[in-house]
Amino acid sequence: MFRETFQQDANQLIVKDIVTKNIKAAHILEKYGIDFCCKGNRPLKEACAEKNVSVEKIISELNSAETGDTDSPKRYENWDLKFLIEYIINNHHSYVRNAIPQLLPHLEKVVSKHGNKFPFLNDIKSIFKDVAKEMQQHMYKEEKILFHIIRYLVDCYKFDEKPKMNGFKTVKDPIESMEAEHTNAGGAMEKIRELTNNFTPPEDACNTFKLTYKELQDFEKDLHIHVHLENNILFPKAIALENSLINKIAS
């Protein structure tokens, strides 16, 4: 799939579309620090220039991964929206809710033991605590408000009903607010990545230090996929669904 797409015109490739076509491209882009979720709506060429990586090198790696890959990818872009919402809640929201109470005590322990020698650990703790709090509130808002609206739009379309938006003029309003929160969370984890030198523990780090860095890295990776599924698949489809519903009712 990559090979076929890339041979058409590599200069036209948009970062988010690469991952939407095959989620396994995510780890290759991540390796080079290319953001495919919050800043995914831009040409690969531009993202590569920013990170000083050649487009050809990235494409070659994507093609190799595709050729050597025998697992069938998850085709999120074809999933029913209600199913995608359940997947996001059961996989990503659930992961975040479980990871935070495991990670925070490890981070506290590392700061208390090594904070004097490595003062930046205090900054990491403070940033992560904010991310944790904001993510919990963010997921609550998605589950109690936005995801309900999207499910409702799916039902309205199915039953030819005119949607009543309960205070929102359009689904775009809560979506814009959730996208802004994604950008904040992504930026905070990027800052943690910088402070930890790409999650590289010091040579003499203890096991809790290494574990904490690994957990932070896993948290960021999961966040990237999570935000990609919402920003690049669920939200545009919800907006398109609302538009088609308006046209359907008007005709």
Residues 220 and 226: their CA atoms lie apart, in Å, by 10
Shortest separation between residue 180's beta carbon and Fe ion, angstroms:
11
Residues 236 and 120: their CA atoms lie apart, in Å, by 38
Asked if 230 touches Fe ion (CB under 5 A), the answer is yes
Q: Which is nearer to Fe ion, 61 or 230 (CB)?
A: 230
Q: Which is nearer to Fe ion, 220 or 230 (CB)?
A: 230
Give the 3-state secondary structure of the chain: CHHHHHHHCHHHCEHHHHHHHCHHHHHHHHHCCCCCCCCCCCEHHHHHHHHCCCHHHHHHHHHHHHHCCCCCCCCHHHCCHHHHHHHHHHHHHHHHHHHHHHHHHHHHHHHHHHCCCCCHHHHHHHHHHHHHHHHHHHHHHHHHHHHHHHHHHHHHHHCCCCCCCCCCCCCHHHHHHHHHHHHHHHHHHHHHHHHCCCCCCCCCCCHHHHHHHHHHHHHHHHHHHHHHHHHHHHHHHHHHHHHHHHHHHHC
8 Å CB contact between 49 and 32: no
Shortest separation between residue 188's beta carbon and Fe ion, angstroms:
14
> Which one of the spans 5-13, 126-134, 203-211, 225-233 is the region binding Fe ion (CB under 5 A)?
225-233
Shortest separation between residue 29's beta carbon and Fe ion, angstroms:
20
Q: Which is nearer to Fe ion, 13 or 37 (CB)?
A: 37
> Which one of the spans 71-79, 101-109, 197-205, 230-238 is the region binding Fe ion (CB under 5 A)?
230-238
> Which one of the spans 76-84, 90-98, 127-135, 222-230 is the region binding Fe ion (CB under 5 A)?
222-230
Q: Which is nearer to Fe ion, 125 or 226 (CB)?
A: 226
Shortest separation between residue 55's beta carbon and Fe ion, angstroms:
30
> Which one of the spans 14-22, 33-41, 198-206, 223-231 is the region binding Fe ion (CB under 5 A)?
223-231
Stretch 47-66 residues interacting with Fe ion (CB under 5 A): none
Q: Measured at CB, which residue is nearest to Fe ion?
A: 230
Shortest separation between residue 49's beta carbon and Fe ion, angstroms:
29
Per-residue x/- track, 181-220, Fe ion (CB under 5 A): ----------------------------------------
Q: Which residues bind Fe ion (CB under 5 A)?
A: 230
